[in-house]
Amino acid sequence: MLRNNLMEYMPVDYSPTHKTIALAYDEAFEQGFNVTSKEIMNYLGVSNQWVPRHITNIKFRVINLVAKKALSKYGRPEFKPLHAYTKIYNRKSFEREILRNSFIEVSHGLLLPATRIPKSLISCADACILYKMDRKTFYRRTKSVTKYNIYGLKRYSAREIEHILLDAL
């Protein structure tokens, strides 16, 4: 017969204060829960709807209305920009998941797993707008550039593209 050991039971505090809630979130922010959906959108160059559809295997914390109220009163000021978001992702988990879904295109169709990803990425479309050129010119000038395939999105190192395209102008 199975028996519950009552000595191991840890009761949950059902009435935490706003101060304890804010402290718990501040600790989470310190421990790496500090990636916003906006940061992911800017890094990958994707839309707001793309993030929740594709970024699924990453640890996250939800900041509900009670937490927002607690953070507005007792939250630490250095984390104030994070308070506006509903979902905050864990940085290490995000970096591992991005790396797991990233490949380097060696030739047409041949992909190798990426071991590193640049800090700043750019798409072909964004580079064409930024450097005022058409796609044909872009592809001609960037033949030797490393092409990253991240979640099926083709991206380039923004720094590498800048060096090649600015030198060509």
What contacts 122, CB < 8 A, 6 or more positions away? 45, 130, 155, 156, 157, 158, 161
Structure tokens at 53: 């559809």
Mean pLDDT of the chain: 88
Find the helix packing angle between 65-74 and 18-30, rounded to 10°.
Answer: 90
For the cut 50, the answer to whether the pLDDT of residue 24 exceeds it is yes
For the cut 50, the answer to whether the pLDDT of residue 81 exceeds it is yes
Separation in Å, CA 34 to CA 41, 63, 85: 14, 12, 10
Give the pTM. Answer: 0.81
For the cut 60, the answer to whether the pLDDT of residue 11 exceeds it is no
Percent of the chain at pLDDT exceeding 70: 89
At 82 the pLDDT is 96
At 166 the pLDDT is 80
For the cut 70, the answer to whether the pLDDT of residue 98 exceeds it is yes
Q: Which residue has the higher pLDDT, 123 or 107?
A: 123
For the cut 50, the answer to whether the pLDDT of residue 125 exceeds it is yes
